[in-house]
Chain A
Amino acid sequence: MSEPVEAKNKTKTIEDAKAGAALPALGLKGMLRWAWTQLTSMRTALFLLLLLAVAAVPGSLFPQRPANPAVVTQYIKDHPDYGKILDAVQLYDVYSSAWFSAIYLLLFISLIGCVTPRAIAHYKAMRSQPPRTPKRLSRLPEYGTLVVPADAGIPASRAITDAAALLRKRGYRVEVRDADGERPSLGAERGFLKEVGNLVFHTSLIGVLVSVAIGGLFGYSGQRILVEGDTFVNTLVGYDQFSPGTNFQSSWLQPYSIQLDKFDVKFDRESPAHFGQPIDFTAQVTTKENPGAPAEKKVLKVNDPVTLGGTSIYLTGNGYAPVITVRDGKGNVALQGPVVAKLQGDNYYSSVVIKVPDAKPEQLGFAGFFLPTAFVTEQGVSFSGDPELINPQLSLNSYYGDLGLDKGTPQNVFELDVKNLTQLNGRDLPAKGITLVPGKTYTLPDGKGSISFDGVKKYVGVDIHHNPGQVSALFFALLAVAGLVVSLYLNRRRVWVRTGTHDDGRTMVEYGLLARGEDHRLAGESAAIRELFQREWQLAPSAPETSDTVASTNTKDQ
């Protein structure tokens, strides 16, 4: 529907351009107007849409920084030849890149430029009367005539008011013309909502975009690992990792707390192919809306977050946390508690890193593996035979020296930097590696201290999200779908009827239908209207004069 407007504008712009050539002062204005008509044309919209589709693809081919920064760093390392070049053209940040943003911003500007004039035009169309009756109705894609016998007592004027009433009942807006003249006629129109639906759809897309932007500006998210018994308090220091939105202020955090009481995993013991695969995770938690509020018991599951203090808390990971006690060379307890083991392989085969900065006289470090059900192959390779704690075992190497924690540079808790450390235990050393089962203690060589394996707890990883744009994004998305459906399945139609009296007293009725845009049911509508007329005037059903009913009819008026 924007086409005629566009076509008109185009000829106008050519004139403008010509004028511009003659009058340099108009040049800039002409150029700008030309650019604007170009940008808001259907062809540009189509081009930008297709470009958007193409531009989204590389984000699925290359690792993306927002999803996983570590993978990107590794990828650049692994591809020294072109890894950096890809970075320079923002291929690791596709969806926040300058070029991707440019495409969708242009698309939305084009959208606004397209929707606004259409909305105004449609508003006017909705307030104006149906267009005047065409001279020759028989030229319309749907056309038919009816003859009312003279003895029926229905003159032309009566026939037109009857027809008007029938069409009004059918949802048409009707205007009767020349009601008392020789050839009274009516124009009727329905389906204005189709265009409204289209406008609502396109406008809602802007709403979705704005909502997403709001989420990015004012939202935040973070992660935290909780061992059974741990409590998380919603403050900045409570998070292991925190990503604030662009405009985030820490005062927005409501200091609620959530304690992990118990975590259960159910494993598949039925199907041979998936034996040992986890099939259910359930975390029992105790929450408090704020420090003074009463405690509440809740259940946290995958696909079933807990909402608290304006945030949602999701269960995203889990594993085992062996509880250990480390004594230092002086015999004092330098570390006691659960150590989070990071999943590495099948059946909860996990890596363990223990840093003991408080050990004296020298700091201690341990690195190795935790196996819930330890098996050792003949080659001496250990693996985990089952995800449950059937034969839990810790195998560790130990180190002493400077852990490098005091320098203030941030360190990965899951990695031990052995640069300034001396190894004490290891497969290749005389003291060999440390192998511990629960309840056992190992004494380190050279009087460096000891390590005890006290037991095993479970831990969960939770993601905490706050997105203030979410509800409105959903609202606009639903609105968009509603608009889309209305726009696609409603039809805008016009009907004209003209009546007249024959010399012999019979009343002639002719009618024609026209659709705006695609309308494959116009023939059906025509038949339905014919039937209404026939019933009203008690005529015998007969086929309309136009022989072919055409499957799909589209005509652009004016």
Chain B
Amino acid sequence: MLFSINETMGQYSELFMLLAAGTYTVAFVAFAWDLAKSSKTLRAVDLKAAAAAKVPVSAGRVGASEVGGPAGHAERPTSGPTFAGGTAAGDMRYAAERRAPARVAVALSILGVLIHAAGVVTRALGAGRVPWGNMYEFLTTGAFVAVAVFLLALIRRDLRFLGTFVIGLAVIMLVAASVAYWTPVGHLVPALQSYWLVIHVSIAVLSSALFTLTFAMSALQLVQSHRQKTLAAGGTDKLGFMRLVPDALSLENLSYRINTVAFVGWTFTLMFGAIWAEKAWGRFWGWDTKEVWTFVIWVVYAGYLHARATRGWTGTRAAWLSIVGYLCVIFNFTIVNQFFNGLHSYSGLS
């Protein structure tokens, strides 16, 4: 029943992880370069067009006011000032302009994710089981899923403005895994030997990857909202790179949609966790520290969904809730796993 450990595979895996981290680092630089360079080019194009046509800078680009939110639900802080120009198209479709650095960055990310996939697969083969049984594996597999989800999302939408964030985070996760959480391939402790590990943890990792995207978008939404207000009031644009980023309301709407998916995923995480706890410990809920935090995260995101339907709570406040929810996810994963005693002590770091 138990496969035997293959150390050589394990070593290959670690090599792949390092190579992936290296490739991502270059991709990260390319994404950052894209933000710096393309926003400048865009600005030049816009200014030229404006000079030629003597129309407001943003002609052709979608202004915030055109895109509705849950109207009637709320005054909308982000859409308050009617704002034109200075942001990317709200529909987040690929535009005609070619952004060479962004293309390089995406190509490198794809290369990185393939190497990363090899790392995850060899880890699984080396251990003869799913590659998420301890902190090292949660991090390496989690980073892989985050990048993969991001790249898949790129097929439908131009979210390349999130690249620096997502790829940067993947680099941090891989480095942290290799430096702080390194654990050689090994068997699972009996408590984790269950098919519920496959179901429960895979959904948790997937939801977390989606929450990562929405966290980045909510943070950008706050910045963009602030910037839009400044610009609308005639202020100077100090955050030029933000012109590659869509307007605050579009960010809010897309992150809401992704958050609904992630919330359903988290609901499953919670439920499957409860079912597994029932199988393993005889009670489906016992307010173990890990259970507490899974619950807290669920309630915060439920609050977020409510906020989107509550007068005065959409826009900026909802974005803050999405950010707080993600901070709880991070806290749950790092601090709770390591420093809180509970039944879920399988960080592999004993």
Interchain CB contact (< 8 A) of A280 among B2, B71, B287, B313: B2
Whether A463 lies near B281 (C-beta < 8 A) is yes
**Alpha-carbon distance between A481 and B266 when the two chains are bound, in angstroms:** 11
Report how many residues on chain A are interfacial, defined by Cβ distance under 8 Å: 68
Whether B2 lies near A302 (C-beta < 8 A) is no
Whether A551 lies near B67 (C-beta < 8 A) is yes
**Alpha-carbon distance between A277 and B193 when the two chains are bound, in angstroms:** 14
Q: How far is the CB of A553 from chain B (nearest CB, A)?
A: 5
Chain A residue nearest in CB terms to B276: A303
Whether A279 lies near B306 (C-beta < 8 A) is no
User: Which residues of A have CB within 8 Å of B300?
Assistant: 50, 53
Whether a CB of chain B sits under 8 angstroms from the CB of A169 is no
Whether a CB of chain A sits under 8 angstroms from the CB of B198 is no
Q: How far is the CB of A342 from chain B (nearest CB, A)?
A: 18
* Given A3-B311, A212-B285, A518-B256, A271 contacting B279 (CB threshold 8 A): no
Chain A residue nearest in CB terms to B249: A552
* Given A488-B260, A488-B264, A556-B73, A551 contacting B250 (CB threshold 8 A): yes
Stretch from A160-168, A226-234, A427-435, A467-475 forming part of the interface with B:
A467-475
* Given A59-B287, A271-B187, A272-B184, A314 contacting B72 (CB threshold 8 A): no
**Alpha-carbon distance between A536 and B70 when the two chains are bound, in angstroms:** 34
Chain B residue nearest in CB terms to A473: B284
**Alpha-carbon distance between A268 and B188 when the two chains are bound, in angstroms:** 10
Whether a CB of chain A sits under 8 angstroms from the CB of B275 is yes
**Alpha-carbon distance between A422 and B271 when the two chains are bound, in angstroms:** 56
Q: How far is the CB of A430 from chain B (nearest CB, A)?
A: 41
* Given A270-B4, A477-B271, A555-B68, A279 contacting B187 (CB threshold 8 A): yes
Q: How far is the CB of A358 from chain B (nearest CB, A)?
A: 35
Whether a CB of chain A sits under 8 angstroms from the CB of B295 is yes
Interchain CB contact (< 8 A) of A46 among B188, B250, B279, B310: B310
**Alpha-carbon distance between A473 and B289 when the two chains are bound, in angstroms:** 21
Whether a CB of chain A sits under 8 angstroms from the CB of B105 is no
The 8 A CB mask of A462-500 against B (1 = contact, 0 = none) is: 011101001001100110110011001100000000000
User: Which residues of B have CB within 8 Å of A273?
Assistant: 183-184, 186
Residues 249-276 of B contacting A (Cβ, < 8 Å): 250, 253, 256-257, 260, 263-264, 267-268, 271, 274-276
The 8 A CB mask of B295-333 against A (1 = contact, 0 = none) is: 110011011001111111100000001000000000000
Whether A279 lies near B2 (C-beta < 8 A) is yes
The 8 A CB mask of B168-196 against A (1 = contact, 0 = none) is: 00000000000000011111111101101
The 8 A CB mask of A53-86 against B (1 = contact, 0 = none) is: 1001101100010110000000000000000000
**Alpha-carbon distance between A464 and B260 when the two chains are bound, in angstroms:** 38
* Given A42-B306, A60-B336, A556-B73, A463 contacting B5 (CB threshold 8 A): no
Q: How far is the CB of A49 from chain B (nearest CB, A)?
A: 4
Most chain B CB within 10 A, of A52, A53, A277, A470, is at: A53
What is the predominant secondary structure among interface residues of chain A facing chain B?
mixed
Whether a CB of chain A sits under 8 angstroms from the CB of B46 is no
Whether a CB of chain A sits under 8 angstroms from the CB of B282 is yes
Whether A463 lies near B2 (C-beta < 8 A) is no
Interchain CB contact (< 8 A) of B193 among A303, A473, A480, A520: A303
Whether a CB of chain A sits under 8 angstroms from the CB of B66 is yes
Whether B71 lies near A554 (C-beta < 8 A) is yes
Whether a CB of chain A sits under 8 angstroms from the CB of B158 is no
Q: How far is the CB of B68 from chain A (nearest CB, A)?
A: 4
**Alpha-carbon distance between A444 and B129 when the two chains are bound, in angstroms:** 53
Chain B residue nearest in CB terms to A553: B68
Whether a CB of chain B sits under 8 angstroms from the CB of A548 is yes
**Alpha-carbon distance between A272 and B7 when the two chains are bound, in angstroms:** 10
User: Which residues of A have CB within 8 Å of B260?
Assistant: 488-489
Whether a CB of chain A sits under 8 angstroms from the CB of B280 is yes
Whether a CB of chain A sits under 8 angstroms from the CB of B75 is no
Residues 542-556 of A contacting B (Cβ, < 8 Å): 548, 550-556
Whether A49 lies near B310 (C-beta < 8 A) is no
Whether B67 lies near A305 (C-beta < 8 A) is no
Whether A52 lies near B90 (C-beta < 8 A) is no
**Alpha-carbon distance between A60 and B256 when the two chains are bound, in angstroms:** 29
**Alpha-carbon distance between A69 and B237 when the two chains are bound, in angstroms:** 59
User: Which residues of B have CB within 8 Å of A484?
Assistant: 263-264, 267
Whether B280 lies near A67 (C-beta < 8 A) is no
User: Which residues of B have CB within 8 Å of A375?
Assistant: none
User: Which residues of A have CB within 8 Å of B287?
Assistant: 59, 64, 66-67, 94-95
**Alpha-carbon distance between A362 and B253 when the two chains are bound, in angstroms:** 81
Whether a CB of chain A sits under 8 angstroms from the CB of B293 is yes
Ranked 4 nearest A-B pairs via Cβ? A556-B72, A465-B282, A53-B299, A303-B194
User: Can you list 17 A-B pairs with a CB-CB distance of less than 8 A?
Assistant: A42-B311, A46-B313, A66-B286, A67-B287, A67-B288, A212-B285, A271-B7, A280-B190, A302-B193, A303-B194, A303-B279, A305-B282, A314-B280, A470-B278, A481-B264, A551-B90, A552-B67
A residues engaging B (CB < 8 A)? Answer: 3-4, 42-43, 45-46, 49-50, 52-53, 56-57, 59-60, 64, 66-67, 94-95, 141, 212, 221, 266, 268, 270-274, 277-281, 301-305, 312, 314, 316, 463-465, 467, 470, 473-474, 477-478, 480-481, 484-485, 488-489, 517-518, 520, 548, 550-556
14 extra interface residue pairs, beta carbon distance < 8 Å, beyond A478-B271, A484-B267: A46-B303, A60-B289, A60-B336, A67-B286, A212-B285, A277-B189, A279-B190, A303-B196, A303-B280, A316-B282, A463-B282, A518-B253, A552-B250, A555-B72
